[in-house]
């Protein structure tokens, strides 16, 4: 879809209502050549991401739902903004300045993605929607003191910007009035082959710029310090198919039912986004490059998709139908002083910028 200079590149439309009558809106940000990002006010969620292939044919490459209800009744974080703390906090509790805080467990004994009522289940408010050459949308959420057990009133914002032909930047900011923890991320489920026609992601060629990863216990909590990927199925320093070694008899693959591990990105937290990962789908030619300023990248190979979720286009989502690459602070950092810190104090601003750059070859 090519747009003239005068054609709108940001469209605002209703997406339906929640059970309590709350209206959910969808904003469509249009790039060039059919590139399109659709964002919901529910969960600040990317509901659609249309990307052209090598022949110029655009397809939706992210899992999601066609109506608001499943995002709330069957939360699987499809395309959502997750927080206050992305990933896991062991035991659902942490100590900050000598005080113990408890987050309700929603992943066995542990708190996952901010607890059972995390940011993915909230309706975000619209701050600004900007049309033009680089259409953008800024959404905001205020999380009160004690929300899901976290201290401090947190004011969070996320800005989606489409630039060039096919580039999406996601920028997070947050401030607090008391010391707290913050770790926000975009939880997209990607399949560069297109989600309408189906198919798994095991043939996708993945590169991750990390020499180390975090081994986990049987409940996906890090065991300790980083371990080298060298000589293991976790080595994606050079392009390898996601499925090439996913069924090797490696204890870490057994524990995660595949890949569900944090990669310790080379260079740690950086001042500006740098290339962290690249994924190529050989058949369509679609390529996704992920740039981020975060110190970690959670790679998840869709292991727990079990065919019970009905997604867009009436499809059932099954194991390995998508992959996630979640830029973030390392999991369980509140219990690991040797990990990058997730602490945010009054007067500071949490910032996280990730860029998703698409092309075809």
Which member of 36, 173, 280, 326 is catalytic? 326
For residues 92 and 105, is the Cβ–Cβ distance under 8 A?
Answer: yes
Neighbouring C-alpha atoms within 13 Å toward the C-beta of 17: 5
For residues 328 and 296, is the Cβ–Cβ distance under 8 A?
Answer: yes
Supply 2's token pair.
Answer: 């090519």
Which member of 65, 187, 281, 352 is catalytic? 187
Burial class of 128 by CB neighbour count within 10 A (0 to 12, 13 to 18, 19+): exposed
326 is catalytic: yes
**262: which residues sit within 8 A by CB, 6+ positions away?**
87, 213, 214, 222, 296, 297, 298, 328, 330, 331
DSSP H stretches of helix in the chain: 69-73, 251-256
In this structure, what DSSP letter does residue 315 have?
A: P
Q: What string of DSSP letters covers 112-169?
A: ETTSTT-GGGSBPEEEEEE-SSS-EEEEEEEE-TTGGG--S-EEEEEEEEEETTTEEE
CA angle 334, 337, 339 (to 5 degrees): 85
Query: Is residue 69 classed as helix, strand or coil in its secondary structure?
Result: helix
* Neighbouring-strand partners of residue 172: 158, 352
Give the whole-angstrom CA distance, residue 211 versus residue 232: 11
Q: What share of the chain is helix, strand, coil (3-state, %, to 5)?
A: 5, 45, 50
Active site residue ranges: 187, 326
């Amino acid at each position: 879809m090519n747009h003239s200079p005068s054609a709108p590149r940001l469209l605002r439309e209703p997406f339906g209502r929640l059970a309590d009558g709350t209206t959910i809106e969808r904003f469509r940000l249009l790039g060039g050549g059919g590139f399109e990002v659709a964002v919901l006010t529910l969960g600040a969620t990317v509901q659609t991401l249309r990307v052209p292939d090598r022949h110029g044919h655009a397809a939706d490459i992210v899992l999601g739902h066609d109506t608001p209800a499943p995002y709330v009744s069957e939360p699987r974080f499809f395309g959502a903004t997750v927080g206050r703390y992305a990933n896991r906090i062991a035991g659902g509790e942490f100590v900050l300045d000598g005080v113990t805080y408890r987050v309700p467990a929603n992943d066995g004994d542990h708190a996952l993605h901010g607890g059972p009522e995390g940011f993915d289940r909230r309706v975000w408010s619209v701050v600004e929607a900007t049309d033009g050459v680089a259409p953008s949308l800024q959404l905001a959420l205020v999380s009160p003191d004690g929300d899901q057990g976290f201290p401090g009133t947190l004011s969070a914002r996320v800005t989606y910007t489409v630039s060039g032909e096919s580039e999406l930047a996601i920028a997070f900011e947050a401030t607090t009035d008391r010391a707290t923890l913050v770790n926000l991320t975009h939880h997209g489920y990607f399949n560069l082959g297109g989600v309408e026609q189906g198919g798994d992601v095991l043939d996708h060629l993945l590169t991750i710029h990390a020499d180390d990863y975090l081994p986990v216990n049987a409940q996906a909590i890090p065991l300790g310090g980083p371990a080298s990927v060298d000589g293991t199925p976790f080595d994606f320093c050079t392009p390898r198919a996601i499925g090439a070694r996913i069924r090797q008899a490696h204890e870490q693959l057994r524990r995660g039912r595949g890949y569900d591990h944090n990669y310790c990105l080379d260079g740690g937290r950086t001042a500006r986004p740098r290339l962290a990962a690249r994924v190529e789908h050989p058949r369509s030619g679609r390529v996704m490059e992920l740039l981020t300023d975060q110190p970690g990248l959670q790679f998840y190979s869709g292991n727990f998709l079990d065919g019970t979720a009905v997604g867009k286009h009436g499809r059932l989502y099954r194991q390995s139908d998508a992959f996630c690459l979640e830029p973030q602070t390392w999991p369980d950092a509140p219990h690991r002083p040797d990990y990058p810190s997730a602490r945010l104090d009054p007067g500071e601003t949490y910032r996280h910028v990730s860029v998703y750059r698409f092309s075809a070859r």
